[in-house]
């Protein structure tokens, strides 16, 4: 039998978007429940976050993310640390289901961010399952000491991963399919100045193979097939919105949002959003404040103080 909860607003996600929204709603005395796989979100992968005002020396992604839990607790936000499997609409309510819990809410905020894109080549899944290939950085840095690492990608995340590993890895190769990068100039400059990072152009990954505790990369380089041997590989070729758990009706609402809906998407999960912490926080704050206004104006509800 699942735990059943009824609340005014349910929020899914413990990243900057929903954490900000939850704190604002809690401070406004609105009844809420936040459900998330973990607290902190994607920013814990970041080497150094330098574009958040208030941190003149930058802040390590993991440290920044770690502070959310304390702030949520201090604001009195009830948190359920579980993975959401299904979200559906029944009449004018939303049902959010995990393996253990069912939450019925009048309003629902979804801030589930993005998931890394896969290359979809032979051997990728096996390498991932054998912990030779990774998409996220935050939980694997400890294995990267003195290793020979390949990072596949050409954007900010690939460059950020390379810089993150610069002081622990032996050699790092950024492997990109063209000779162009979409990374910020400041990250390119740091990569160019690093002794142990090289950038390989026009290199298209065709296949991975695991042999003798190494990962073999079969790469098409300028029309020729070559082999590279690495200890570990990171794939950082972009991210896509994460909303696999939505029912068909709600996917259609995601694609055609209604302004008066009580279902709100906040932060990176939104299509075409610029993926930045301050934008995710701003989204969360705006939607929370609009919702509080709506609850007070249309429903005459004034919340309770915490
Ligand atoms: C390497 C890297 C470096 C970055 N550097 C910067 C930077 O310097 N500056 C900057 O502004 N931004 C940076 N970003 C982007 C930033 O991390 C995101 O824009 C921001 O985290 C988005 O916040 P969000 O709350 O929308 O989503 P996320 O942070 O992705 O949070 C999503 C939350 O939803 C939860 N969740 C997902 N699916 C489920 C589910 N099914 N059930 C329950 N919970 C679920 C997750 O556990 C997580 O808590 C970087 C990103 C990466 C990957």
Could you read off the pLDDT of 204-243 as tens digits, one per residue?
999 999 999 999 999 999 889 999 999 999 999 999 999 9
Do 94 and 151 belong together in one domain?
Answer: no
Do 167 and 223 belong together in one domain?
Answer: yes
Q: What is the pLDDT of residue 203?
A: 96
Do 143 and 174 belong together in one domain?
Answer: yes
In a domain, 304, yes or no: no
User: Which residue from 183, 177, 179 is spatially nearest to 205, judged by alpha carbons?
Assistant: 177
Do 110 and 129 belong together in one domain?
Answer: no
Contact 267, 109 (CB under 8 A): no
- CA 113 / ligand 1 centre spacing (Å): 5
CA distance 84 to 13: 9
Do 14 and 156 belong together in one domain?
Answer: no
Residue 1 has pLDDT above 60, yes or no: no
Q: What is the pLDDT of residue 298?
A: 80
pTM attached to this predicted model: 0.94
- Terminal Cα distance for the chain, rounded: 31
Do 8 and 109 belong together in one domain?
Answer: yes
Ligand 1 mutation target, pool 11, 12, 13, 81, most atoms within 8 A of CB: 13
Residue 7 has pLDDT above 50, yes or no: yes
In a domain, 247, yes or no: yes
Give per-residue pLDDT as tens, 74-109. Answer: 999 999 999 999 999 999 999 999 999 999 999 999
Q: What is the pLDDT of residue 272?
A: 81
Do 104 and 14 belong together in one domain?
Answer: yes
**Beta strand 214-221 pairing with 224-230:** antiparallel
Band (pLDDT 50/70/90 cuts) for residue 273 is: confident
How many of the other CB atoms lie within 10 Å of CB of 291?
22
Average pLDDT over residues 98-122: 98
- CA 206 / ligand 1 centre spacing (Å): 29
What is the domain-level CATH number for residue 218? 3.50.50.60
- CA 226 / ligand 1 centre spacing (Å): 35
Judge if the beta carbon of residue 234 lies within 6 A of ligand 1: no
Residue nearest to atom 4 of ligand 1 (CA): 46
Q: What is the pLDDT of residue 302?
A: 62
Judge if the beta carbon of residue 11 lies within 6 A of ligand 1: no
The dihedral through the CA atoms of 247, 252, 257, 259 has a sign that is negative
- CA 224 / ligand 1 centre spacing (Å): 38
Q: Tokens 């809906």 belong to which residue? A: 261
Residues 6+ away with beta carbon under 8 Å from 250: 87, 88, 89, 263
Do 13 and 61 belong together in one domain?
Answer: yes
Judge if the beta carbon of residue 151 lies within 6 A of ligand 1: no
Band (pLDDT 50/70/90 cuts) for residue 306 is: very low
Query: Whole-number mean pLDDT of the chain?
Result: 94
Give the domain extent around 256.
Answer: 3-115+239-299
Residue 120 has pLDDT above 80, yes or no: yes
Ligand 1 mutation target, pool 275, 278, 288, most atoms within 8 A of CB: 275
306 or 274, higher pLDDT: 274
Give per-residue pLDDT as tens, 179-213. Answer: 988 899 999 999 999 999 999 999 999 999 999 99
Instruction: Name the burial class of residue 52, with classes exposed (0-12), middle (13-18) and buried (19+) by CB atoms within 10 angstroms of its CB.
Output: middle
- Indicate the residue among 215, 235, 255 that finishes a domain: 235
Provide φ and ψ at 275, rounded to 5°.
-90, 95
Do 94 and 130 belong together in one domain?
Answer: no
Judge if the beta carbon of residue 41 lies within 6 A of ligand 1: yes
Atom of ligand 1 nearest to the CA of 14: 49
Judge if the beta carbon of residue 20 lies within 6 A of ligand 1: no
Domain count, the chain: 2
- CA 23 / ligand 1 centre spacing (Å): 17
User: Which residue from 174, 166, 121 is spatially nearest to 150, judged by alpha carbons?
Assistant: 174
Contact 29, 305 (CB under 8 A): yes
- CA 267 / ligand 1 centre spacing (Å): 8
Judge if the beta carbon of residue 45 lies within 6 A of ligand 1: yes
Do 161 and 122 belong together in one domain?
Answer: yes
DSSP the chain: --EEEEEEEEEE--SHHHHHHHHHHHHTT--EEEEESSSS-GGGG-S-B-SSTT-TT-B-HHHHHHHHHHHHHHTT--EEE----EEEEETTEEEEE-SSEEEEEEEEEE---EEEPP---BTHHHHHHTTSEES-STTTGGG-TT-EEEEE--SHHHHHHHHHHTTT-SEEEEE-SSS---S-HHHHHHHHH-TTEEEE-SEEEEEEEEETTEEEEEEEETTEEEEEEESEEEE-S-EEE--TTB-HHHHHHHHS--TT-SEEE-GGGSTT----HHHHHHHHHHHHHHHHHHHHHHH-------
Atom of ligand 1 nearest to the CA of 51: 9
């Amino acid at each position: 039998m699942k735990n059943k909860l009824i609340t005014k607003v349910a929020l899914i996600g413990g990243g900057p978007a929903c954490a900000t929204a939850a704190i604002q709603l809690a401070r406004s005395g609105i009844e809420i429940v936040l459900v998330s796989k973990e607290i902190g979100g994607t920013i814990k992968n970041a080497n150094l976050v330098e574009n958040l005002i208030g941190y003149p020396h930058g802040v390590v992604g993991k440290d920044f993310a770690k502070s959310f839990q304390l702030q949520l607790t201090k604001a009195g936000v009830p948190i359920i640390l579980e993975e959401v499997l299904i979200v559906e609409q029944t009449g004018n309510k939303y049902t959010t289901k995990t393996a253990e819990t069912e939450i019925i809410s009048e309003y629902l905020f979804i801030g589930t961010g993005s998931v890394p894109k896969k290359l979809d080549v032979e051997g990728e899944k096996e390498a991932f399952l054998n912990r030779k290939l990774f998409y996220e950085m935050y939980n694997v840095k400890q294995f990267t000491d003195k290793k020979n690492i390949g990072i596949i990608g050409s954007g900010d995340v690939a460059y950020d991963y390379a810089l993150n590993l610069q002081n622990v890895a032996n050699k790092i190769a950024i492997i990109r399919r063209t000779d162009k990068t979409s990374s910020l100039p400041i990250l390119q400059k740091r990569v160019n100045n690093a002794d142990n990072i090289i950038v390989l152009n026009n290199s298209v990954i065709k296949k991975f193979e695991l042999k003798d505790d190494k990962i073999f990369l079969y790469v098409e380089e300028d029309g020729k097939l070559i082999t590279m041997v690495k200890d570990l590989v990171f794939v950082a070729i972009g991210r896509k919105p994460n909303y696999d758990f939505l029912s068909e009706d709600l996917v259609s609402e995601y694609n055609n949002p209604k302004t008066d809906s009580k279902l709100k998407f906040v932060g990176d999960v939104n299509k075409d959003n610029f993926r930045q912490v301050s934008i995710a926080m701003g989204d969360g704050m705006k939607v929370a404040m609009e919702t509080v206004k709506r609850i007070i104006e249309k429903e005459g509800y004034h919340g309770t103080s915490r």
